[in-house]
Structures are given as C-alpha cells and as structure tokens.
C-alpha cells in the first residue's frame, strides 16, 4: 500500500507541474488525448501534433520498460532511469523538457507493477471505478468473495495530494521536480526492504 500511494503521488505531482509549465500532462494520457482533440479546433495551448507526440513517447517508454523488465533488466535500473528523467526535466528551461518527464511517467507503471503494485498509478479513473465497485460490494454483497479495495482509494488520494503538492511546488520552488525524485528514493528503500529489486520473476 505505501508504494501505491507513493507512486500515485509522484504521478499527480508530475502531472500538476507539467500542466502548469508545459500545458500538457506527463502521465495522464487521457487528458492529453482530450487536449489533442481540443487542439484540432484550436481550443488548446499546444498544436495537436505536440500532444500526439507526447502520447507516442509515453507509449514507447512504457513498451520499452515492459520489454526490459521481461528480459530481466534489474528494476533498480528502471527506477534510476525514471529518477534521471524527472531530474532532467528540471535541468532545462526549454519547452522540449516535458519529454523526459513523459518518459519517466511511461516507465512508472511497468516499474510499479514489477514491484508488486497491482494498479495503475499514472492515471486514476480505473482506480476510482474499482474503489467504487469494491465499496458497493462491501455495502451490498452478493455472495462473491470480498476483494480488497482500499488500495484503489489510497491511490486516488495519493494522486490528489500529489497534484496539490505539485501545484504548490511549482509556485514555491525553483526546482519543483526534486520532490518526486526524492520520493523515488523512498520507493527504492521500501522495495529493497521487500526484496522487490531482485531480477527474479514473481
């Protein structure tokens, strides 16, 4: 549960900073898809091809991370790549600096999954639905086995808190993305304690 909250908080934070700084989302590709549609009728800050490019970059980063982890790439290498990509965004003032942040968020779900987080952490709609389904199942059971559902609500809360902290960090800090990079250090510590950084398959 702590890893789910931490990963979701990183994603919420990164999305808040990326939207405020770049007018696009780093991890919420549903949002970028909507913005791409709006851009087609000139109702978004960026041209449609830029949103399409970010969608493609996120897809490729995710695919590469899944493949690397299947080929027994150490999870620590993916974690370090995510941290480096986050920090790289803060190192440059250029508009293209959103790209490494999108790469970082593309790496995150495969990494989180490998570390035992069985939910999405960079987009939250599915988690809200599963939380609602689980809550209704507890209130009005229909004989099925009770599935744990609190983790989905915790991820939702983590994302919301992360987004609020991201907005505050953007307003108050000259290098706001140092915060999610520091949270990755906590994830490293927690995953190492749990043995999640092993290259052996679960």
Domain boundaries, the chain: 2-194
What is the model's pLDDT at position 172? 98
Mean pLDDT by 10 residues, the chain (202 residues): 92 98 96 96 95 98 97 95 97 94 97 92 89 88 76 94 98 97 95 78 48
Fill in the DSSP letter of residue 76: H
Would you list the DSSP string of 151-180? HHHHHHHHHHHHHHHHHHHHHH-SSTTHHH
CA–CA distance, 26 with 125 (Å, rounded to integer): 16
Fill in the DSSP letter of residue 97: G
**Contact of 168 with 137, CB cutoff 8 Å:** no
Between 75-91 and 178-194, two packed helices, what is the crossing angle to 10 degrees?
Answer: 170
User: Which helix (H) or strand (E) covers residue 50, if one does?
Assistant: helix 48-70
Closest to 47 (Cα-Cα) out of 55, 58, 57, 35: 35
3-class SS of residue 126: helix
**Structure pTM?**
0.92
- φ/ψ of 126, rounded to 5, equals -60, -35
136-184: per-residue pLDDT in tens? Answer: 888 888 766 677 789 999 999 999 999 999 999 999 999 999 999 999 9
What is the model's pLDDT at position 199? 64
- The CATH T-level fold of domain 2-194 is Growth Hormone; Chain: A; (1.20.1250)
What is the model's pLDDT at position 2? 87
The total of other beta-carbon atoms located within 10 Å of residue 26's CB is: 37
What is the model's pLDDT at position 200? 59
What is the model's pLDDT at position 202? 46
Long-range contacts, stretch 109-114, CB < 8 angstroms, 24+ apart: 109/62, 109/65, 110/62, 110/65, 110/66, 110/69, 110/78, 111/65, 111/69, 111/75, 111/78, 111/79, 111/82, 112/3, 112/4, 112/7, 114/69, 114/75, 114/78, 114/196, 114/202
């Amino acid at each position: 549960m702590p890893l789910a909250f931490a990963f979701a908080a990183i994603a919420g934070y990164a999305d808040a900073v990326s939207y405020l700084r770049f007018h696009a989302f780093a991890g919420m590709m549903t949002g970028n898809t909507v913005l791409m549609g709006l851009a087609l009728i000139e109702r978004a800050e960026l041209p449609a091809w830029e949103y399409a490019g970010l969608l493609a970059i996120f897809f490729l980063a995710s695919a590469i991370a899944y493949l690397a982890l299947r080929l027994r790439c150490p999870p620590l290498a993916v974690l370090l790549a995510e941290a480096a990509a986050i920090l790289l965004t803060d190192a440059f003032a250029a508009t293209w600096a959103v790209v490494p942040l999108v790469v970082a968020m593309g790496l995150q779900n495969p990494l989180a999954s490998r570390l035992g987080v069985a939910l999405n952490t960079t987009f939250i709609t599915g988690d809200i639905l599963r939380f609602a389904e689980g809550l209704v199942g507890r209130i009005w059971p229909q004989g099925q086995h009770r599935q744990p559902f609190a983790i989905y609500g915790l991820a939702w809360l983590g994302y919301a808190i992360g987004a609020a902290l991201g907005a505050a960090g953007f307003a108050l800090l000259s290098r706001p993305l140092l915060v999610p990079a520091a949270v990755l250090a906590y994830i490293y510590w927690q995953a190492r304690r749990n043995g999640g950084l092993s290259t052996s398959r679960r």
